[in-house]
């Protein structure tokens, strides 16, 4: 964070997702019009009256293709929630369109709002009174821990390495420019010319474009990691489902167009987007016929990237359990031993034999125990062991990261523009440094003395 980020234009999905057909993306700050206008086909938003709602389409400025049909509310300061200029894009609900629009907004200069940031701004701009201040701080506190964890988790190892390498490449260039400036008589180092800088900018830009391409293909965010919750009736599948859904209401949503029978629900567990398969089957409370359960389970297992197999530890293993254990033996799976609040009747020795090296997580859905361990295990499997979704690799899937990559890429465009305009290397470097900072925001590296450390370790200087 820089001191000035307080005055950035920020954006986030403002609606509790899932329910209803409309999602709202809220954008607030001084530059809202500059950010949204290029994405909006319809009236010129800069000219419309305040507190109006305007029909149009969101387009991807790069491809000029329509993303969604929307209504945009224009609310100018000060009579807005944050007392800043606010635009709200009402789009068709559904994870896909909402995320795509959010991403466009972020790529066009807005920053993803921090937890509680709209409310914080409302407060700091005098819109909320003292009694609410404590609530604001609670909100920031409560959301921060979690979001920081999530943010870290969401950074896939290979992406992180790639960005770190890019940053190191840029850093070496920057250090060279600096050493040319601060030690102009130091003749052992090649002078960093704009030509060399241009080559580097093009190189880095190519890498970023490659990453952004994977982002476009990266289906995980939109489609989620296909996950099946399986188990005999009454072992606690539906409680588990509710636990997962309740844990993060914010990102649960239905996908429009799915049939009533095979409802798929989306949930974000510790940063992993899951597509829960056949939740309708789990929800059916009158589903007492074992046969249906097993059949549905098999079907679900076939379609899943990850299987959560639930067993009841208060009863001995049944043939149904054994069947499911066998059916999932070759799948990525986690075995959940539920009902640990009741006396243990399950033969653990047999289970361990059947489970092989599958991770066993003990839970009591009733007493709300073990769920966070389960979430951690899911994140671990996803990020560290690299479960792949059916659709291929999982490179850049996070809206914030994509936005930052776009900003970094634009900074490189500025580098090239500057070079074309004949600007000296130390000015062009300003934009190169911006690129480096954007990439650093992705990996969370913002150590301020990095550049000097590089300079003094790379060059032997002294005058």
Annotated binding site for Mg(2+): 238, 259
CB of 139 to other proteins, least distance (A): 10
Rounded to whole angstroms, how far apart are CA atoms 83 and 75?
9
**Sole binder of other proteins in the list 120, 167, 200, 237 (CB under 8 A):** 120
Strand partners, 131: none
Give Cα separations from 246 to 137, 185, 249, 312, 422 (angstroms): 23, 64, 5, 22, 57
Q: Which residues contact 445 (CB under 8 A, 6 or more apart)?
A: 164, 167
Identity of the residue, 185 or 385, whose beta carbon is nearer to other proteins in the bound complex: 185
Residue 198 makes contact with other proteins by CB under 8 A: no
Residue 144 makes contact with other proteins by CB under 8 A: yes
Instruction: Give the E-state strand segments of 220-374 in sequence order.
Output: 225-230, 253-254, 265-269, 272-276, 306-312, 333-338, 360-362
Rounded to whole angstroms, how far apart are CA atoms 457 and 449?
12
Measured torsion, CA atoms of residues 204, 206, 208, 213, in degrees rounded to the nearest 10: -170
Identity of the residue, 289 or 452, whose beta carbon is nearer to other proteins in the bound complex: 452
CB of 196 to other proteins, least distance (A): 14
- Interface size with other proteins, residues (CB under 8 A): 53
Q: Which segment (157-165, 290-298, 367-375, 423-431) binds other proteins by CB under 8 A?
A: 423-431
With vertex at residue 357, the alpha carbon angle to CA 351 and CA 363, rounded to the nearest 5 degrees, is 60
Q: Which segment (60-68, 129-137, 196-204, 205-213) binds other proteins by CB under 8 A?
A: 129-137
**Sole binder of other proteins in the list 85, 117, 247, 265 (CB under 8 A):** 117
Residue 3 makes contact with other proteins by CB under 8 A: yes
Q: Which segment (13-21, 181-189, 311-319, 363-371) binds other proteins by CB under 8 A?
A: 181-189
**Sole binder of other proteins in the list 41, 50, 51, 137 (CB under 8 A):** 137
Rounded to whole angstroms, how far apart are CA atoms 224 and 318?
32
Residue 168 makes contact with other proteins by CB under 8 A: no
Cβ atoms of 325 and 232 within 8 Å: the answer is: no
User: What is the CA 224 to chain-centroid distance, rounded?
Assistant: 11
H or E segment and range at residue 291: helix 290-303
CB of 332 to other proteins, least distance (A): 34
Annotated binding site: 26, 88, 127, 234-239, 253-259, 278-281, 463
Residue 445 makes contact with other proteins by CB under 8 A: no
Rounded to whole angstroms, how far apart are CA atoms 84 and 452?
38
Annotated binding site for K(+): 234, 253, 255, 258
The DSSP secondary-structure symbol of 159 reads H
Q: Which residues contact 195 (CB under 8 A, 6 or more apart)?
A: none
Identity of the residue, 30 or 290, whose beta carbon is nearer to other proteins in the bound complex: 30
Identity of the residue, 188 or 261, whose beta carbon is nearer to other proteins in the bound complex: 188
Contact residues for other proteins (CB under 8 A)? 1-7, 114-117, 120, 123-124, 129-130, 133-134, 136-137, 140-141, 144, 148, 178, 180-188, 418, 421-427, 430, 447-448, 451-452, 455-456, 460-463
């Amino acid at each position: 964070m820089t001191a000035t980020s307080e005055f950035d234009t920020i954006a986030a999905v403002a609606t509790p997702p899932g329910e209803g057909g409309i999602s709202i993306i809220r954008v607030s700050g001084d530059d809202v019009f500059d950010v949204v206008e290029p994405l909006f086909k319809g009236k010129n938003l800069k000219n419309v009256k305040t507190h109006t709602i305007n029909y149009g389409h969101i387009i991807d400025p790069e491809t000029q293709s329509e993303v969604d049909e929307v209504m945009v509310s224009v609310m100018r300061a000060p009579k807005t929630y944050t007392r800043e200029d606010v635009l709200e894009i009402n789009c068709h609900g559904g994870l896909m369109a909402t995320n795509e629009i959010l991403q466009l907004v972020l790529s066009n200069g807005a920053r993803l709002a921090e937890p509680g940031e709209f409310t914080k701004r409302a407060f700091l701009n005098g819109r909320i009174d003292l009694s609410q201040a404590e609530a604001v701080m609670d909100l920031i506190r409560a959301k921060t821990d979690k979001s920081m964890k999530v943010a870290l988790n969401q950074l896939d190892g290979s992406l992180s390495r790639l960005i770190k390498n890019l940053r190191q490449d840029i850093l070496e260039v920057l250090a060279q420019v600096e050493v040319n400036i601060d030690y102009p008589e130091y003749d052992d180092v090649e002078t960093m010319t704009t030509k060399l800088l241009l080559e580097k900018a093009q190189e880095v830009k190519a890498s970023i474009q490659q990453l952004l391409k994977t982002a476009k293909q990266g289906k995980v965010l939109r489609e989620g990691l296909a996950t099946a919750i399986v188990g005999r009736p009454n072992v606690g599948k539906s409680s588990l489902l509710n636990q997962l859904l309740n844990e993060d209401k914010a990102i649960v949503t239905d996908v429009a167009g799915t049939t009533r029978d095979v409802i798929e629900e989306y949930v974000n567990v510790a940063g992993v987007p899951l597509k829960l398969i056949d939740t309708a089957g789990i929800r059916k409370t009158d589903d007492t016929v074992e046969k249906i359960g097993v059949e549905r389970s098999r079907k679900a297992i076939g379609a899943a990237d990850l299987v959560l197999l639930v067993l009841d530890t208060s009863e001995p293993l049944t043939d149904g359990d054994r069947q499911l254990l066998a059916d999932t033996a070759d799948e990525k799976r986690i075995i959940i031993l539920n009902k640990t609040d009741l006396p243990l009747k399950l033969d653990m020795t047999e289970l361990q034999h059947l489970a092989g090296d599958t991770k066993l997580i003990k839970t009591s859905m009733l007493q709300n125990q073990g769920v966070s361990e389960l979430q951690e295990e899911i994140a671990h499997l996803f990020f560290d062991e690299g479960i792949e979704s059916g659709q291929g690799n999982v490179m850049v899937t996070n809206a914030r990261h994509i936005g930052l990559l776009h900003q970094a890429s634009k900074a490189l465009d500025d580098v090239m523009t500057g070079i074309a305009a004949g600007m000296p290397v130390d000015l062009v470097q300003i934009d190169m440094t911006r690129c480096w900072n954007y990439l650093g925001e992705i990996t969370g590296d913002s150590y301020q003395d990095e550049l000097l450390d590089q300079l003094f370790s790379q060059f032997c200087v002294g005058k």
